[in-house]
Amino acid sequence: MNVAHRIKTNHKYTPELRQVSKETILLRSLLQKSREFFNSGKTRDIEFRLAQLKKLREAVSANKGQILKALGDDLKKPGFEAYTSEIGMLFQEIDYASAHLKQWTRHRTVGTPTALAPAKSRIVPEPYGMVLIIGPWNYPFQLTMAPLVGAIGAGNTAVVKPSELAPATSEVLAGIIGAAFDARYITVVQGGVDITHELLVEKFDYIFFTGGTEIGKIILQAASNHLTPVTLELGGKSPVIVDKDASLDMAAKKIVWGKFINAGQTCLAPDYLLVHHEVKSELLERIKRYIHEFYGDNPKQSKSYGRIVNERHFHRITRLLRSGAKIIGGRADLSQLYIEPTVIDEVTLNQPLMKEEIFGPILPVMTYRNLNDALSIVKSLPKPLALYIFSNNKKTVEQVTSGTSSGGVCVNDLVVQIGNYYLPYGGVGASGMGAYHGKASFDTFSHYKSIMIRSRFIDIPRRYPPYEKRNKGFLRRISG
Ligand code: NAD
């Protein structure tokens, strides 16, 4: 059995330490092997790639129980949520990529301008080489493995760095990959910020990062040292707008589900609610009813409600409870890392709740009278990962979708758009750059190389010097 490479370091990163540390030497040798494996050309073979995707699926399938247990240990994820959002989604990505890979890898023949004819021109997707995938802790399995599907499909070798804040999942993920793959081909490096810095000093051919906006800046800066292209899947404040003609019951039900799944620690969760003043009280009444229906009298006892990942995030989120007027929930218990599903009214843009991504089970509410006022609020904040609008009026939906910028939009639902592999998934501006899922994952990890093959038989002499001799008439014409 191949055991994935595993480097856990305690030392603080400094350039001097890097030069002498054993971890650095181990890391470099690992990367050297990964590069050699890529250079052997093995990963360019389509049958090889398909076989690896199959292996990945089988390995995940064989370890479903372990994965669910680890997600329970790290985040108290309810089994149903964990299976559908972490394992089921991954299977979907693997199956879709496997079914379409041959089509995606085909060379595309394109035209050639007359001035360059005769020639044959084509566009060929080729793997970047050795890629680095850095994962977050909130959906720690799926958000680390789904990019890997793209990396494999496109023919790269990969180094995978799962989040240290979901240690049980990181361990299981390393075990699965270590057992399934040659460590020169795909390897897992476990560790914290220091090891991520160690990795970022090295040269990769592509970096795929999922995490917070501030860390995204560090990644982009580090990547610039090697001119390494990146995808940054970041977060932000995704608004949900509920207009006066929306189906209120459906909106309330879906908002409660999308906000409180994984205890609000979902990058695509609605961060704050903008509701038309005429329907506010009815919507909030229904939200209250659905929180009760989903999680019972005491959500702490509910098997369908998760926990906050660690004490640092618990304190960060509970500090936010101090703003506005709590109208639903608000209780918290540090010993269980539990924060109740909470709705806060009378929120203003200058309160802490609206100054940062909440990433926890608190829904701030703001009211608007005119849709343009709601859109002004959305536009005054950095571009979000998602924007949600509940409305039965096509004009309203059009006004919102065309009048704002966000990674994506979902109308009359939330979060579920991530499951549509026909739609590229990614942010814009502060919520990220680049996208993946389905074909977009293959594209992300591929360089589209342009190839032109010219005829050997025709070579027009006019392009060669001395120009005065070969282009007399032309030069006379352009000089007037
Ligand atoms: P994070 O940015 O803290 O951590 C992500 C990864 O970066 C981890 O592997 C971590 O080890 C590494 N890291 C942390 N600090 C670092 C540093 N100083 N230098 C280098 N590497 C560092 O993110 P998180 O807390 O795991 O996830 C929460 C954030 O991620 C939220 O903002 C959320 O919206 C966003 N997110 C986005 C998506 C998406 O698909 N767009 C998905 C999940 C989470």
How many residues can be counted in the chain?
Answer: 480
| End-to-end Cα spacing for the chain | 77
The string of DSSP codes covering 21-38 is -HHHHHHHHHHHHHHHHH
- Dist. CA 292 → ligand 1 center (Å): 31
- For residue 235 and ligand 1, the question of a CB distance below 6 A is answered with yes
Confidence of residue 4 (pLDDT cuts 50, 70, 90): very low
CA distance 7 to 115: 56
* Residue 233 a catalytic site member: yes
Q: What is the mean pLDDT of residues 142-151?
A: 98
Prior bond to 382 cis, omega within 30? no
Give the mean pLDDT of 307-326.
95
Q: Which tokens hold the place of 434?
A: 């680049």
Q: Two tokens at 84?
A: 């559908």
**Residues 340/361, Cβ–Cβ less than 8 Å:** yes
- Note the pLDDT of residue 25: 86
Token pair recorded at residue 135:
């994962």
What secondary structure does DSSP assign to 389-425, as a single string? EE-S-HHHHHHHHHH---SEEEES--SGGGG-TTS-B
Domain 239-420, CATH among 2.60.120.10, 3.40.50.10600, 3.40.309.10, 1.10.287.130: 3.40.309.10
Rounded to two decimals, what is the model's pTM? 0.93
| In the chain, domain spans | 5-234+434-449, 239-420
The answer to whether the CB of 385 is under 6 A from ligand 1 is yes
pLDDT digits (tens, 9 = 90+) for 402-431: 999 999 999 999 999 999 999 999 999 999
Q: How far is residue 361's CA from residue 339's CA, in Å, rounded to a whole number? A: 7
Task: For ligand 1, atom 26, name the residue with the nearest CA.
Answer: 136
What is the architecture of the domain spanning 5-234+434-449?
3-Layer(aba) Sandwich (3.40)
Question: By three-state DSSP, how is residue 464 classified?
Answer: coil
Place of tokens 């080489």: 129
Tell me the Ramachandran region of residue 330: left when phi exceeds 0, alpha when psi lies from -120 to 50, beta otherwise: left
In the annotation, is 346 catalytic?
no
Question: Which residue's structure tokens are 């109208």?
Answer: 327
> In 3-state terms, what secondary structure has residue 235?
coil
pLDDT of residue 323: 85
Distance CA 373, CA 349 (A): 13
- The mean pLDDT value for 35-53 works out to 98
pLDDT at 354 over 80: yes
Per-residue pLDDT tens digits for 251-293: 999 999 999 999 999 999 999 999 999 999 999 999 999 999 9
CA distance 146 to 168: 18
Alpha carbon 403 to chain centroid, angstroms: 24
In degrees rounded to 5, what are phi and psi of residue 417?
-60, -25
Cα(132)–Cα(199) distance, integer angstroms: 8
pLDDT digits (tens, 9 = 90+) for 9-20: 333 444 444 454
Return the best residue to mutate from 13, 188, 210, 271 for the ligand 1 pocket (most ligand atoms within 8 A of CB): 210
The region, left, alpha or beta by phi > 0 then psi within -120 to 50, assigned to residue 351 is beta
Q: Which of 23, 93, 233, 340 is catalytic?
A: 233
> What is the per-residue pLDDT across 437-466, written as a single tens digit (0 to 9) for each?
999 999 999 999 999 999 999 998 999 999
The radius of gyration of the chain's CA atoms, rounded to the nearest angstrom, is 26
CA angle 269, 252, 402 (to 5 degrees): 60
